[in-house]
A = this chain, B = another copy of it.
Amino acid sequence: MAKKNEEFVTHIASRTEDFPQWYTDIILKSDMVDYSEVKGCMVIKPYGYAVWELIQSELDARFKATGHKNAYFPLFIPEHLLQKEKDHVEGFAPEVAWVTHGGEEELSERLCVRPTSETIICSMYSKWIQSYRDLPLLYNQWANVVRWEKNTRPFLRTSEFLWQEGHTAHATAEEAQEETERMLEVYREFMENVLAIPVICGRKSDKEKFAGAQATYTLEAMMQDGKALQMGTSHNLGDHFAKAYDITYLSREGRHEYCFTTSWGVSTRMIGGLIMTHGDDRGLMFPPRIAPVQLVILPIAQHKPGVLDKAYELKQQLIDAGIRVELDDSDQSAGWKFNQWEMKGVPVRLEVGPKDIENNQAVLVRRDNHEKLFVSMDGLAETLKSLFDTVQQDMYDRAKENRIAHTVVAHNMDELKDGVQSGFVKAMWCGERECEDRIKEATGATTRCMPFEQEELGSDTCVCCDKKAKAMTYFAKSY
C-alpha cells in the first residue's frame, strides 16, 4: 500500500518546488478541466462545472436578494457600438475576436465577440430608460465572454470564460457609488463565507482600473505561492457611459439628466483561486460549502455481508438531509480510494466497515488536517453539518493566517522588492503613475489596491519617490 500511495502522489508536482506544474497537475488529474483543440479555450469537465453551478446558485440568490434581475444580451457587438466610449475601446480592442463572415457572405460591419457588455447593454438602457420611475435599473447576466489572450491557463486566464456581469443605472452619482460598494460587499461575503478565501477590498489605481471606469474596486486574494489573484471587480462608471451612449432620464423636476452607471463581475477564474488557496500536495481541497461532493462514503471490507447495504442506506439518508454525497463501491483498493478522493478534495470521508456497523459508529476523516473522528450513527447528518462548519472556518482561518504570515511592510524599494518575492507588501504610495511603473519595472509587482482599511505604517512618504504619500497600497506579483 505504501508504495502505491507514493506512486500516486509522485504524479503531482510539489507546491513548493513547482507551483505552476502543481496547479496543472491537479486540475487535470482531478478531472476539473481539459485542454481543447481550440487555442486558449478550456473544456470545463463535470467536476469543475459542478463548482461553477454551486457558485452560480449562491451568487444568483444574493443578486436577487439585492433586487437584481437576470437578462440576456447578444454575444456580438457591432464595431461602431464598441467605439463610442474612447477609453473603453482602447482598452479592449487589442484583445477582441472579430466575426467578419456570416455563412458565405462578408459582413458589411465587423462584429466583435463580447469581451464585456457595457457597450451593447448601454445602447439598450438608452432606449429603456425614460424617467426617474425607471430607475434604478438593476440587471445581471450570466454569459460567456472572449478576450484574445496570448498566455492562457485554465480558469485563470482563457480566451473564453464564463462569468456574470451586473449592469445598473441610477439617478445620482451617490446611488451609483452605493451600488458599486454594495456589490463589492456581496462578493466579499460570498468569497469569505462560501469559498473560504479571505480577500482585501480596496480601490484600483488609475492604471489598473477598468477601461472607461471612474473608479474600480477589487477583491484581492493571496495564493499559496504568494501571488495575488484579482477575484472580482466592481466599477463605478460615473456618467462616462451614460454620456457616450446617451442614457438620460426625465427627473421628478422635469429635467433631462444623465444617468450614472455601474458594472461588476466575477468569473470562472474564482475556481482557480479556490484551487490555489486551499489545495495541497495531495491535490484539491474544497471548503464544504462549495464542494461538489461534500462527503465520500468508503465501505471497508465491502464484500462482507451488510457493509454495502449499510453504505447505501447511509448515502440515501445523508442525501435526504441535503448533503452532497458520493459512495465509492468500486473494486479499487481502500488505499487507492483514499488517495483518489483526497486528490479530488472532498472535505470529509466516511469509512464504514463490519466493526463500525456492530458498534453503531462510523469513522470520519477530515481532508484538511487528516483528523480521524469516531462518531455515532445516530444523528450523523447533524454531526456532519457541524463538522462541515468547523472545516469551513478552519480553512478560512488557515488561508488568512497564511496571508498574514506572507504580508510585510516596506519602507523602501529594497524591502518592497524583497517582500513581493513571497507575498504581499504594504507600502505608502504617492499615487503617481510614474512611481507605479518604476515599481513594476524594478520588482515585477503591481499595485493591487488601496485598501479600504488603511493602516499607519510609521511614514507618510512614497516608498518609491519619497514625496508625500496618498495612500497605503498593496503591492504584489499577480496572476
Which of A's residues lie within 8 Å of B, judged by CB? 34, 36-38, 41-46, 49-50, 52-53, 69-78, 81, 93-104, 111, 113, 120, 123-124, 127-128, 139, 143-144, 146, 148, 159-160, 162
Contact = CB atoms under 8 A, between A and B. Distances in A.
A139 B77 CA distance: 31
Rank and list the top 8 A-B pairs by shortest CB-CB distance, nearest first. Answer: A41-B74, A46-B69, A102-B148, A44-B72, A98-B101, A38-B74, A100-B100, A103-B148
A111 B50 CA distance: 28
A159 to B, nearest CB: 8
Contact of A71 (B38, B43, B71, B144): B43
Nearest to A74: B41
B75 A160 contact: yes
A167 to B, nearest CB: 12
Contacts of A45: 71
19 contacts: A34-B127, A36-B74, A37-B123, A38-B74, A38-B77, A43-B73, A49-B70, A49-B71, A50-B70, A75-B113, A75-B144, A75-B146, A95-B103, A96-B103, A97-B99, A97-B111, A98-B100, A99-B100, A102-B159
Contacts of A75: 41, 113, 144, 146, 160
Given A34-B124, A97-B99, 8 more contacts: A36-B74, A38-B76, A38-B77, A49-B70, A50-B70, A98-B99, A102-B148, A102-B159
A155 to B, nearest CB: 12
Oligomeric state, in number of copies? 2
A37 B81 contact: yes
A249 B36 CA distance: 20
Given A97-B101, A113-B113, A78 B37 contact: yes
Contact of A72 (B81, B102, B127, B162): B162
A113 B162 CA distance: 16
A473 B128 CA distance: 47
Contacts of A101: 97-98, 100
A94 B144 CA distance: 24
B53 A120 contact: no
Most interface-central of A73, A78, A139, A162 (chain B CB within 10 A): A73
A366 to B, nearest CB: 27
Nearest to A81: B37
Most interface-central of A52, A72, A148 (chain B CB within 10 A): A72
A99 B102 CA distance: 9
Contacts of A128: 34
A14 to B, nearest CB: 27
A74 B113 contact: no
Contact of A49 (B53, B72, B98, B103): B72
A136 to B, nearest CB: 14
Contacts of A38: 74, 76-78, 111, 120
A76 B44 contact: no
A38 B75 CA distance: 9
Contacts of A74: 36, 38, 41-43, 160
A70 B46 contact: yes
A13 to B, nearest CB: 22
Given A98-B100, A98-B101, A100-B101, A124 B36 contact: yes
A69 to B, nearest CB: 4
Nearest to A160: B75
A291 B70 CA distance: 16
Nearest to A137: B46
Nearest to A128: B34
